[in-house]
Amino acid sequence: MVTKVTGNGQPFLNTGSRAANGRKGAEMATELIERLHRESASPAESVLKLYRKVLAVFYIEERMKAFARQGKCSFVASSRGHEVTQAGIASLLKPGYDWFFTYYRSKGTAVGVGLSLTDIFLGMLGRKGDPNSGGRNMPEHFSSRALHLVAQTACTGSQYLPAAGVARAVKADGQDAVVYVESGEGATSEGEFFEALNWAARESLPVLFVVQNNGYAISVPQQTQTASSVRKIAEGFGVRAVEMDGTSFDALYERVPDLIQWIREGNGPVLIEAKVVRLDPHSSSDDHRKYRNDDELLHALEWDPLLQMEARILEDQILSAGEMEFIRQEVKAEVEKAAEWADAQPEPDGRDLMVNIYAETPDVKKVGSSPRYISEEPITLIDAINHGLREELERNPRVVMWGEDIADPKGGVFGVTRGLTRMFGERVSNSPLAEASIAGIAGGMAIAGYKPIVEIQFADYLWPAAMQLRDEIPTVRWRSNGTWTCPVVVRIASGGYIKGGPWHSTCVESFFSHIPGWRVVFPSCAEDAKGLIKAAARSEDPVIFLEHKGLYRKVQAKTPEPDSDYVVPFGSGRIRHQGVDVTVITWGSTVYQALEVARQCEQRGRSVEVLDLRSLAPLDEELVYRSVRKTNRVVIAHEDSLTMGFGAEVAARIASECIDALDAPVLRVAAKDSFVPSAPTLEALVLPTADTLHKAVEQVLRY
């Protein structure tokens, strides 16, 4: 093969000589032409469209290398070597109907689905007007609602579960759309990749998994990742899987259209392990010469997809050498024009910095409703949640629910969802014992327009889902600058006092309240539980709905049942007991300790005001400050451990806004900084009690 080398060391074909390396010959070319004839009135036009896209990727990468050297872009991950797989498969799909989940090396896919050159450069440079994220997301992360190109994170492998979730929505809607999700082979070592294969195979979801195997996860070779192969791993989960030469557009057109059609016909997922090459370093901060020798790098150039495509185009006489050079210069000019225009745009000014973290909502004090009770007979907190879920399932056909053991006849390990499967069928179903799957599939279905309300059986066991619950779900609105939303509701059983020991007693409100994007609520009585679960089911934001196991059937938590119109707005606390001498601010199980202390103090002539926050994010600061300015003394009580508990945040805000109104230090009563022991006597020593709270109240009253 005769080549000429550009100034940056990248080769271009100079003659029409044939590419070597065992490429299939005239037989494949004939087969290719026949296939293109079936799919297009002009097969040559289809090839040239893909050629122009592959060329565009080349020139984009060259321009981005220059921008990186100039310090104008912080991160560039070249897709050179992957571009035929990415642009080629994307060109066989239907942007705007099919769905696309990419990763940090996906410029070929972005070009393939039709994202404009200016939008690509605006996203890479993070300039004002960037339609991908408004400069919020990293370079290489593209987004377009019109194209169904979903905004991604940089987390490796976490895109697979949301992609399967979108596929679940597509199937539920009766569409024949395909969900394309891609990564390198390194990401397939992540557990969420395995979980996505499992869920997609189990439910025959229309997912096209495209793993681009260039042999390296940064510097780690594939043999360090697995003793198997990606294809074999997928087959082990029951997924149809194929290996193909991802550098050859011949192989692409020979095999991929039939695989796509197979998915569209409802046969389930397919995995393509595309063997590609990485022609450039992992990223702009990597020097691959440290772990790849010169012979290997030269060998990789022989498999350059662009070279191979040009050789085939010349051999099949689709273009002459002169015509090919003309197209090169034409595409290069288009790319340069877009790059220069984007580079001339200003940096983001930050005026909308805090917009699109949450949905734009009305003042919480102006929404909601007063309870109208449908029965004077009190119901338990667990029944209130069940009834609220039932009413929202009836109200909104897009509400779907799943979790471990939640389907009938069991209806959850605590019985919260009992009877709902009998009423609503597959809309209330069991899931695998896999918390990341529970959350990640929910995230995808929410992106596609459903309203998942899912259950994590115990707060202690949610951590396998941490990537979805921290990096994926709450960032969707923010990272897409409002283009995409992800209004998932995650119900979590939490808290102790049930002799559950160290693995069934965790409180997690401070963890989630610290993550922007989540609404976090923690009801303490039946009335509030029903009103808040209905608010969560109607929220445009993702919601963490915390359910204290010890309150499910607690007699004191019973209330009359509000009707189906009762909704408790987020950011709205309530006064559970009026007082003037000291304020106890609390939530969850410690509400009842505070009420007991208020009763005891009242017998001695002291008046305690008890505030039940109910909603932690957002926090009803107005209610808190008003009470503090009335009583001038504050005790904060919560079940979570003391250090870094949410009470510290409440105390800090009081110190900032009400320091002039305080006549005593702000005290906190909480669990000791320990795990919760199993022995009942030890549990009682770790968790807060009414007695310890009473002592704190008496202490501030002495000032």
Cα dihedral across residues 178, 183, 186, 192: positive or negative: negative
Residue 564 is encoded by which pair of tokens?
């189906």
Q: Distance (Å, rounded) from C-alpha 174 to C-alpha 45?
A: 33
Q: Is residue 154 exposed (0-12), middle (13-18) or buried (19+ Cβ within 10 Å)?
A: middle
Instruction: Specify the DSSP element, H or E, that contains 562.
Output: strand 559-562
- What burial letters (b/e) apply to 406-434, b meaning 16+ CB within 10 Å? bbeeebbebebbbebbeebeebbbebeeb
Q: Distance (Å, rounded) from C-alpha 145 to C-alpha 19?
A: 39
655 phi and psi, to 5 degrees? -60, -35
Eight-class DSSP state of 17:
P
Task: Enumerate the β-bridge partners of residue 99.
Answer: 179
Lookup result for tokens 């009938």: 408
101 closest CA partner among 135, 69, 155, 149: 149
Residue 72 is encoded by which pair of tokens?
């104008």
The CA distances from residue 527 to 43, 172, 534, in Å, are: 66, 33, 11
Q: Distance (Å, rounded) from C-alpha 464 to C-alpha 212?
A: 26
Amino acid at 185: E
- In angstroms, the first-to-last Cα distance of the chain is 90
Q: Is residue 251 exposed (0-12), middle (13-18) or buried (19+ Cβ within 10 Å)?
A: buried
Sequential DSSP letters for 298-309: HHHHTT-HHHHH
Active site residue 504: yes
Q: Distance (Å, rounded) from C-alpha 534 to C-alpha 302?
A: 60
Q: Contact 452/461 with Cβ under 8 angstroms?
A: no
Q: Distance (Å, rounded) from C-alpha 65 to C-alpha 67?
A: 5
Count CA atoms closer than 13 A to 620's CA, side-chain side.
24
To 10 degrees, the CA torsion angle through 162, 168, 170, 176? 110
Q: Contact 594/584 with Cβ under 8 angstroms?
A: yes
Residue 474 is encoded by which pair of tokens?
């709450």
Q: How many residues does the chain have?
A: 703
Q: Is residue 254 exposed (0-12), middle (13-18) or buried (19+ Cβ within 10 Å)?
A: middle
Q: Which of 82, 288, 387, 504 is catalytic?
A: 504
Q: Distance (Å, rounded) from C-alpha 343 to C-alpha 63?
A: 11
Count CA atoms closer than 13 A to 137's CA, side-chain side.
33
Contact partners, residue 643, CB within 8 Å, separation at least 6: 673
Amino acid at 171: K
Which residues are marked as active site? 504
